[in-house]
Every structure is written in C-alpha cells, then in structure tokens.
Structure 1
C-alpha cells in the first residue's frame, strides 16, 4: 500500500505514520517536505519509524537534503541498514552542495542498504570532475543496484571519453537499467555521442532511457551513425521520448529505424516526437522500416496523429503488417477528432496484422456518441486484437444504455481482455452497472478497473460488476496512485484488498508464490544464490520471470 505525505510538517508526518502503523504501508512518499531545514533529532526519529514500518519504496525527492552536513546524512541513512528498502529516490536534493569526502561516505552507506532501484536525478553530478564521479560510483561497488536514475544531471558537460569512462564504471557496478534522460545530449558533437554509444554497446545494459535529449537536431548521417552504433548492444528497451524526431525528414527516420533490424531492441518508446506532422507517404516509409526487426512493443502515444487523415493512419498501420509488432500504443493522440469513417478505415488496416494489444488511452472517446462508438468498436471484427485498452477515456459521459450497446458491438471480435480503468464508473448506479457489464460478450474473460473508483463504490455497485466478473483473477484492479495492477495470487496485501472489497473464495498466495515472486523481481540480487534453492522454488521463479 502506498502512502503520500508530501508537503507536510514533521509533526504531521509523524502523526500520520503513527496512525497508519500496522496497515501494511510499503511505499512511502515524503517528497517536498523540506527536510533540509529539519533538526537532526527529528529526522532520526523519522528514519527509525520508517525502518520499523517495513517500507520498501521510499521517495525523498525535493527535500534539500544537500543542505544537511555530510555526517548527519551518513548517520541518517545508516539507520536504514537492513530496513528492507529496495527503491530509494534522492532526486532534486542538491547533493552537489556536499564536499566529495562527504558524498563518498554517503554513497558507501547507500551501498549497504540493499537498494535495487536508486534515483539520483537532478543532483548536479555532471558538474563533478570525472575522477570524482568514478570515486563516487566506485563507493557503490558491491551494492545490488541494477536500476539507476541519472536524469537531469547536465552530463552534456562531459566529453565522449569521459561519458564512456562513466559507462564502464556503471557496467562494472551491475547497472542494467539506466535513465540518462534530460541531459541535453543533443548539444554534444556527433563524435562524442558515437563514443558514448560505443561504450554502451559493450556494457550489459538492457534498458536505456535517452528521452528529452533533443537528439532530433542531429543531421541525417549522424542519426544513422548513432542508431547503427547501438546494433551491437544488449539493449532490449530503448526510450527516445520527446527528442523532436518529427522534425527530421521521413527518409532520415526510415534509415534510422531500419538499423534496428540487426539490434536486440524489442521495446521502442517514441512518445511525444510530433510524428503526426509527417504525411502518409513518410509514415508508411518510416514504419515499413521495421520489417524483419525484432520489435514487438511500440509506443507512439502523444504524437498528434489526429492531424493525419484516416487513410494515412491506415497506411501507418498497414506498414506494420510485415513486422513482429504485437503491442501498439496510440494513447493521447486526439483521436476523438477522427470521424467514424476514418476510424473504420484505420481498424480495417488491422486485419491481417500481427498486433494483438492496442492502447487507446486518453483519447477522449467519451465525446463520441454512443452509436459512433458502437460502430467504431464493431470495426475490430476480424482483427487479431485480444487486448484493448480504453482507460481514461471519460466513458462515464455515456448513458448506461449507450455503454451497453457499444460493449455489445464487441461480440464478433477476438478480444479476451478490456481495460476500462479510470472511466468514472463509480458515478453509475448499481442497476446501470449491471446493464453495462452484463452486455460484455462472454469471450471477454478479464477487465481492468481503477482501484480508487472501485473502492469509492458501495457494495451494491461492486456486486453489480461482480455478477459478471465474480473472481479476483477476472477483475484486475489498477492502483493509479501506485501505478501498478494488484495481483492477489502473489501478494498477501493485495489479496487482503480484494477480500475487503467483497471477493470471496480467494485463496491466500502460497508461500512458494510469494517467495518466488520476490526473488524473480529481484533476480539480479539473487542470481548467485538461486542455484541453491529447492527445485520447486526454482521452477516457480522461472514461471514468474517468463510472465515479466
């Protein structure tokens, strides 16, 4: 369970923590509480309380911790040894204000906390000399940290050779997921970027975030060289969000995308790159470049595709038919502006496509009439879609009869899962909810709804939905505050939430499942010990790893 206590005084925080003791709080948000001005005794009491509560995720962003003397910071974080914290966010704390000796001491303490995901965004690390940075990160050697956030640290100040040295150290530490976003790398000469990317290619980093780096300003041959350099890397997930790529000609982007053919990248994030400014011919050329690439998941959210006519959007989808893309995200593209005829043309292009998962979140579909939505969804007949995400679309604007009609239109589709999270269903009466959800075809086996909305409903409202989806595994509750779907089969606290909301016959997760899930989610930390576990546990761990 997550508890947010941002912008509170120390007295308020301690009172709330006392009141919530024993409630199973695991995620604690203490951002923007100005701890830099708090007395050490107050912070000591707070950190002891945090340790006693069993917090695993601790958010200390924007607290001016850099104003505290180094010895106090070291003593405070020493308290958290063996506390079980695996996620720690120290972003935006002006840690660059501390002398090197103090920072090194702090990092040495962080090494022993058991942290897997460490965020150090916006702490002025790019202003440190390279020998200082190497000394700092070497202090983390031996930590189980695999996820590291270094966003917004002005690393554009470093030369390519200096960045390469930094990458070598991070690889030696065991970093496999690196956030290098918001570092103005587009300002760097292409020679420096090639040196950096060559350094990436010899690491074991599998996820790299280069979002918000203005890489779109690089010239034709520069972009091709940069993407080509990544071919030999271990990267499977690449984030290029908000890099102004839409400003480059379509053939330049096609050449860049074509280089992914020989890479290991299966998950590409191109959100917010203004690709909707490209014409249909350019879009077709660009996305046909993914033919024969291993790309499976493609995020094209927030690209203003509403600017393109339906036939041009259909050309985009047609271009993906020869790819291996199975998941496509078109969220937040203003698609409510498209006519019904344009929607039908677009969805017709999905026939014969490998795409099975389609996300249409935040497209204001609730502004369409009920009849229009029914016609649009009926156009998914004869496609291969099995999972459709319609969350955050203001569907509560439609009447119960309209919603029942549009859900009935899914009868001829292959859908087995429908995501309806955050659509205001808590505003509907129990009678309306029964009509709405009973209209869903029998082949839709699971749905997703907002935990917050489901909790706001009364028993009659919840029972109306449960009359169609009675079992916990059929109704996935999404905690929008925590950004995750609950899984009562694996988590005892999640199982308790489901039980409190009226789900009966819910078996608690087995000890094997809980232990296997924990080890699978912390696989890097336990790789060496995994071979010594019993065969039953090892088989179960493998099952959860394959689930992702």
Structure 2
C-alpha cells in the first residue's frame, strides 16, 4: 500500500502522530516528494523520519525537496535518521545534488553506508556534469555500502562523456557491489553503435545482473544496429533487461523480430517491454512477435493499462507465448511496481479478468493469507517459522 505525505508548515507533533499511525497499517510506500522540507529544520525532519522505525515503511520517496541546497552536515543528520529504520528503497531524485562538491557527496553517501538502504535513486541530479574522475571517486564510496541498486536516470551521462570516460565510470560501479543498474534517459543512443558495444563490453562479468536501458532515442537506431548492440549482452552475466519506454512501436514487426531475436542464448531470462505501445500492433503481428521471442526468455513485463486497453484478440496473441501469471509480470503505471497475484487477491483477480492462468495456491500462501487476516498477538507471531512469518508480512503489505 501507498501513502502520500506533505509536511510543509504543519505542526511537527501532528506529523509525528501521523507517521506513528502508519505502523501495522499495511502501508509500505511513503511518498514525501515535493513536501516542503525546506520549511523544516534538519532536527525537525529527523524527528519525523526517526519514527519510521518498525512502521512497516520500506520505500521512501524524498524526491524534489531541494535537499542539495542544505548544508552537508544537515544532510548527514537527515539521512542518518534512516539507519536501521526498515527503509530499503530511497528516492532522492531531483534534489540539486549537483551543487555539492565531490568531497561533500562522499560524506553524504557515507551516511547511507550499512543503513539498510539497498536501492538508491539519484535520477535528475545532473551529476553527469561532474568529471569522470570525480564520478569514479563518488561511485567508489558505494563499495561495501550495502547499496545494490542504483538509478541514474536523466543525469546526461552519455552526452557529456567520451567512451573512455564512461568505461572508467562503469569500472568504478563494477567494483562497488552494484547488481542493478538503471541508465535510462542518459542519451546513450547518441553514441555510435561501435561505441555502445565497447561500453557494454565493460559490463561483462561485472556482477551487474539487472540492466535498465529505457530510452526513447533508441528508435533512431536501425533494427540491425540494435540487434548488434543487444547481442553484446551474451555471457555478460545480465539476466534482467529493461527496454521499457523505448518506443518500440515505431519499428515494424519484422524489425522487432530481428531485435528481440538477438537475445537468443544471451543469458537474459527476464525482459521488460512495458510502455512501448505494442498494442498498436495487430493481433496477427503480436502473434508473430511473441512467438519469435527466444524461449530462454522465461518472463516478460508489460504495462497493466496497456493490456487492459487492447482488444481480446491482441491479448490472446500475447498469451500464446506467455499464458500464465508466472511468466508475464504486469506493471502498475502509478507505482511502477509489478503486480503480485501470489500475495494479493485483488492482483490475482486482475490477472484472471485479463485471461491469464493462475497457479493453484501453495500451502504456505494459504497459511500466510489466513493468518494475516486475523489479529495475531506479537508473541504468537514470533513463534512462527521464519518462512511463514515472512509470507504473512507480504500479505500485510
């Protein structure tokens, strides 16, 4: 569940009370973007955030709060409040961090070291303006930090850097322990095909398993160029590839077959095709396309609203290759998260309504569902096997 939260000029005691009300409410995502942090002192913000501990909140959105305009000491204090809070996903998009020096950014990132935060979103902070050496130094800070996912969308990395500089930067990321790398909307496609291939070669055996390349400018590359680029991923160690928002609708079915066919024996098993308006293709074209997707691709991701708005025949064309909920993940356009039909009856019904097959519920799921929907004293919960306890928590969020 999701909760939008603004602080602005509101009384701190009331805000703290609201945070406390979230405990055991089932709310896991707290959205505090553009919430008026500049009207609060660092101490007031810390008083609010320190109440997140044991609240059940795992995703915290602090984007667009002008945090970069605060002193470095303020930011260290604020981020320090998240240590062991239970927050694992932190969104710092659009916070003017480009205004900080390298030394300041290192101190700020150090505040997140071993804090429990594993996913960090630094999108649209225009850090691409820093030199390659500066970025290398900054990324080196992430080593042994516990952060495994970094989102670098909209930092204009590729446009402002040479191939050699990009390779130097990626080398620093390889050594940082990052496994999920989001490089969307960084003008990558403005590089030539040989340059992109050279860049992707750097990712081989890097420990990075999830690569996000969502970039509408890929439409400017020919099918042959894109196929050549994607074939570079073979034996790279990358298993999850995100091609969402790449405007693939602009390619013909014949071109798309060439592009996706390049992933055969690449090691990629999960492919995100969401928000590419593939619903603009006919049912016959979609049958051709999805039949051509290599069989080593075990699951694809698709936008929920895309599938809800296309015709029955088009959905059935997709289902010829991916007929059940285990092999097609539907992405909610509002949260950006995949539906979870295993743990949510609402999500399961959405899949059924769209004509997807559902696996029978496991004994663990049934136990978790019924226990989660009954009031269970904390002491009783603590005595449950860890597998069942974790499953119950999934149903409660």
Structure 2 length normalisation: TM-score?
A: 0.82
1:120 to 2:1 alignment: no
Please give the alpha-carbon distance, in whole angstroms, between the structure 2 residues aligned to 1:373 and 1:284.
28
Q: How does 1:317-328 map to 2 (within 5 A)?
A: 317-328=170-181
Post-superposition offset of 1:475: 1.8
Alpha-carbon separation, structure 2, partners of 1:404 and 1:139: 52
Structure 1, residues 136-156: CA drift from partner, whole Å, max 9, x if none?
634765652676555545444
SS at match of 2:174: coil
Cα pair distance change 1:449/1:287, threshold 3 Å: same
Corresponding residue number in structure 2 for 1:442: 295
- The answer to which of 180-189 and 359-368 deviates more is 180-189
Shift in Å at residue 359 of structure 1?
A: 0.6
CA contact (8 A) 2:92 2:120 kept: no
| 1:389-404 to 2 correspondences below 5 Å | 389-404=242-257
SS across alignment from 1:485: coil
**Deviating more after overlay: 491-500 vs 417-426:** 491-500
Determine the structure 2 residue equivalent to 1:107: none
Partner of 2:183: 330
Structure-2 residue corresponding to 1:204? 85
Q: Alpha carbons of 1:336 and 1:496: their partners in 2 closer, same or farther (altered >3 Å)? A: same
Give CA deviations for 1:276-326 in whole Å, capped at 9, x if unaligned: 334444444443444444331111111112312334323322333323211
The alpha-carbon distance between structure 1 residues 478 and 154, as it changes in their structure 2 partners (threshold 3 A), is closer
SS across alignment from 2:205: coil
Q: How many residues align?
A: 390
Question: Which residue of structure 2 lines up, in the alignment, with residue 25 of structure 1?
Answer: none
Determine the C-alpha separation between the residues in 1 that align with 2:227 and 2:115.
Answer: 41
**Residue aligned with 1:319, SS:** helix
Q: Is the 8 A contact 1:300 1:331 kept in 2?
A: yes
Q: Per-residue displacement from partner, 1:313-343 (whole Å, max 9, x unpaired)?
A: 2332233332321110011112222211111
Equivalence for 1:134: 13
**Correspondences of 1:214-293 after superposition (within 5 Å):** 214-219=96-101, 222-231=104-113, 235-237=115-117, 266-293=118-145
Given that 1:276 and 1:304 are in contact with CA atoms closer than 8 Å, whether structure 2 keeps it comes out as: yes
Identify unmatched segments of 5+ residues in structure 2: none
The 1:519–1:124 alpha-carbon spacing in structure 2 relative to 1, beyond 3 Å, is: farther
Q: Kindly indicate whether residue 297 of structure 2 is the aligned counterpart of residue 297 of structure 1.
A: no
In 1, distance between residues paired with 2:258 and 2:314?
A: 20
> What is the distance in 2 between the residues matched to 1:398 and 1:454?
19
1:3-53 deviation per Cα after TM superposition (whole angstroms, max 9, x unaligned)? xxxxxxxxxxxxxxxxxxxxxxxxxxxxxxxxxxxxxxxxxxxxxxxxxxx
Output one character per residue of 1:152-200: Cα deviation in whole Å (capped at 9) or x when no partner. 45444444455555555x35784855555444444444555555455x2
Residues of 1 paired with 2:251 and 2:53: CA distance?
A: 55
Tell me the residue number matched to 1:380. Answer: 233
For 1:311 and 1:386, locate their aligned partners in 2 and report how far apart those are by CA, in whole Å. 25
1:85-104 equivalences in 2 (<5 Å): 87=2
Once the two structures are superposed, what CA deviation does each residue of 1:498-538 show, in whole Å capped at 9, x if it has no partner? 3333334x3454685266369889xxx985552366x5xx6
Q: Residue 158 of structure 2 is aligned with which of 296, 301, 306?
A: 306
- Greater CA drift, 434-443 or 302-311: 302-311
Deviations 1:67-108 (A, max 9, x none): xxxxxxxxxxxxxxxxxxx65xxxxxxxxxxxxxxxxxxxxx
Q: 1:187 to 1:336 in 2, by over 3 A?
A: closer
Alpha-carbon distance change, 457 to 332 in structure 1, aligned in 2, over 3 angstroms? same
Task: Confirm or deny: 8 A CA contact 2:96 2:125 kept in the other structure.
Answer: no
Q: Work out whether residues 492 and 508 of structure 1, in 8 Å CA contact, stay in contact via their aligned partners in 2.
A: no
- Taking the aligned partners of 1:489 and 1:175, their CA distance within structure 2 comes to 20
Residues 138 and 390 of structure 1: is their aligned pair in 2 closer, same or farther, counting only changes over 3 Å?
Answer: closer
User: Which structure exhibits the higher relative contact order, with contacts defined as CA atoms closer than 8 Å and separated by 6 or more residues?
Assistant: 2
2:47 and 2:318 mapped to 1: Cα distance? 56
Q: Is the 8 A contact 2:274 2:301 kept in 1?
A: yes
Whole-angstrom CA distance in 2 between matches of 1:464 and 1:166? 50
Residue 530 of structure 1 is matched in structure 2 by 381
Q: Find the aligned partners of 2:103 and 2:68 in 1 and give their Cα distance.
A: 14
Q: Give deviations 1:104-143, integer Å, cap 9, x for gaps.
A: xxxxxxxxxxxxx4x3315422xx5xxxx23663476565
Q: How does 1:163-178 map to 2 (within 5 A)?
A: 163-167=45-49, 170=51, 174=55
Aligned partner (choices 343, 348, 361) of residue 495 of structure 1: 348
Distance 1:391 1:218, change over 3 A: closer
Q: Which residue of 2 aligns with 1:540?
A: 388
My pick for the range that moved more, 445-454 or 373-382, is 445-454
The structure with more radius of gyration: 1
Residues 518 and 298 of structure 1, relative CA distance in 2, 3 Å threshold: farther
Match of 1:80 in 2: none
